[in-house]
Amino acid sequence: MSPALEALVASYNHWITIFLMVAGLYTVIAKDNMIKKLVGLSLFQTSVYLLYLSPGKILGGTAPIIAPEFDVYSNPLPHVLILTAIVVGIATIALGLALVVRIHEAYGTIEEDQVFAAGDNE
Amino acid sequence: MEALINMVLLTLMAIVTVGIIRMKSLFGVVILAGIYSFLMASVMVALDAVDVAMTEASVGAGISTVLFLAALYMVGKDDVPSARSPYVALALAVVVGAALVYGTIDLPPFGAADTPPNQHVAPFYLQNSIPQTTVPNVVTSVLASYRGFDTFGETVVVFTAGLGVLLLLRGRPKPREATVAKDDQEVLANDARTPGREDRA
Amino acid sequence: MKLDLILRVTTKLILPFMLLFALYVQLHGDFGPGGGFQAGVIAAGMIILYSLVFGLRAAQRVIPMSVVMRAIPLGVLIYLGVGVVAMMKGGAFLNYSTLASHAEHGQHTGILLVELGVLVTVASTMVGIFYAFVERGR
C-alpha cells in the first residue's frame, strides 16, 4: 500500500472522530431549535466515545472476556469509562428534554431567538 | 479486514451526520439519530467493545429515541430556518477542527499494541480478574469491583436525573386554558379529534 | 376488528421474552457482555413498549408511579448497603473481600449484589422519566 493510503487507514478513526465532533459542535451552536441542539449534543458525546475506544483496540485481539483459547485482548479500561459516559449522557439528554418541554409551555416556542426575544420583552 | 469494516461503518456514520444537520423535519432528525446510534453500536463491536455496544444500542437507539419522540410530540415537529448567518459558527467549528487535527497528528496508529494506554493498568486487570474476582468478563469486574466507587457515582447520577425530570415535569401542574377540570368526557372528545390514539381503557 | 390487533397480539407474545432477555443479560454479565445498565434499560423498554401499545393507564395498573418512585432510590440504597456492610465487617467501603469467608467469593457476591442495585435504579428511572413525559403530554 502506498504511504498515503497506509496513513489514511491508520488514522481514519481519528479523522471521522474529528468530523463528528465538529459536526456536533456546529449543530449545538448554529441551530436555533432546541431539540436539534440536543441531538447535536448527543452527536458530540458519541464522537467522544469513539475517541476513547479507538486507541484501546488491538488488531488481532478480541473482546476482553477471558477465555482459554484467546491470549490477546483489547484494552478493557476505556470500555468501563465509556459505559459510565453513555449512561451519564442519557441522563443529561433526559434532563435537557424535560427543560425543553417546560420552556415550550412557558414561551410557546422552542426556537432560541424567539425565546430570548420573549424574555427581553417580559 | 476488520479495518475495512470499521472504515465503511464510520463513513456511513459521517453521511448520516450530514443528513442530521441538513434535515428540516425534526421527526426525521430523531430517526436519523437512532440510525446513527445503531451504526455507532456496530462500530463498537468492530472495535471489540461488546459491553459498550450493547449499552449504546439499548440506550442510544432505544431510550433516547423514545424520549426524543415523547418530547417532540409535545413540542412541534418542524425546524424553522434560523435568521442569523451560520458563517460565524462554521468558522468556529473549522477552527476547533483544525486544533483537533493538530492535536491528534501524533497519536499512535490504529490497532497498535504497544501504546501507553495498553501498558500500565490494563494488563494487571486482564491477568488478575479471574484470580481475584472469579469473573471472566473483565469489563464487569473492573466496573463493579476495581472501579466500584465510580459506578456508585454513576448510579447516583442516574438517580439525580430521574429526580430532576420528575421534579420538572411533575412538580408543578401544567397551566390549563380551560377552567373546567379535565374529566373523561373531555378526554374522549380530544380522542375523537386526534385519530389513531387508542390508549383509553 | 381494530387495526391495532396485530400490534397487540405481537406485543403480548414479545413482552415475556424481553423480560427474559433482560434477566439473562443481568445474570450473565459475568460471563459475557452484559451487566446492570443494559439489563435495566431492556427491562424499562419492556414496560415502555407495553405502555405504547396498550396505553398509559394499562401500564400504570401493572407498575404504578408510586412503585417507580420508591424503586429509584432503592437501587442506590442497595449499592450503599453493600458498601456499608463491607465496612462493618472490617474492610474498607466497597471492599467486597470481607463479605464472605473467601476473598474471591466475597468479590463475586459483592459484584452480583451491586449489579442488582444498578438494575433496579436504571430500570425504574427510565420508566419514571417516560411516565413523567407522557403524563405531561396528556
Contact A63 B49 (CB under 8 A): yes
Instruction: Please give the residue of chain A at the shortest CA–CA distance from B136.
Output: A66
C122 CB neighbours in chain A (<8 A) are 87
Distance CA A83, CA B139 (A): 9
User: DSSP character for B117?
Assistant: G
Instruction: Please give the residue of chain A at the shortest CA–CA distance from C130.
Output: A94
Q: Whats the size of chain A, residue-wise?
A: 122
Task: Write b or e for each residue in B78-91: b if 16 or more Cβ atoms lie within 10 A of its Cβ, otherwise e.
Answer: ebeebeeeeeebee
Closest CB to C129 among A63, A65, A94: A94
Q: Is A101 on the interface with C (CB under 8 A)?
A: yes
Instruction: Please give the residue of chain B at the shortest CA–CA distance from C128.
Output: B162
CA-based nearest distance B114→chain C, Å: 26
Res. A26 pLDDT band, cuts 50 70 90: very high
pLDDT tens by residue, chain B, 201 residues: 777 888 899 999 999 999 999 988 889 999 999 999 999 999 999 988 999 999 999 999 999 999 999 999 888 766 666 667 788 889 999 999 999 989 888 888 777 778 888 888 888 999 888 888 889 999 999 999 999 999 999 999 999 999 999 999 988 887 765 444 445 555 566 655 555 544 444
Amino acid (1-letter code) at residue B7: M
Q: Given a cut of 70, is residue C50 above it in pLDDT?
A: yes
ipTM of the prediction: 0.91
Q: Find residues 58-77 of chain B whose CB sits inside 8 Å of chain C.
A: 58-59, 62-63, 66-67, 70-71, 73-74
For chain B, list the contacting chains (3+ Cβ pairs, <8 Å).
A, C
Backbone angles phi, psi at C78, to 5 degrees: -60, -45
Q: What is the pTM of this model?
A: 0.88
Cell numbers found for residue B160: 439525580
Closest CB to C94 among B136, B149, B187: B149
Contact B36 A82 (CB under 8 A): no
Decide: A83 and C37 in contact? Cβ < 8 Å. yes
**Which residues are A73's β-sheet partners?**
A62
Instruction: Please give the residue of chain C at the shortest CA–CA distance from A66.
Output: C31
- Interface mutation vs chain C, best among A38, A74, A86, A90, most C CBs within 10 Å: A90
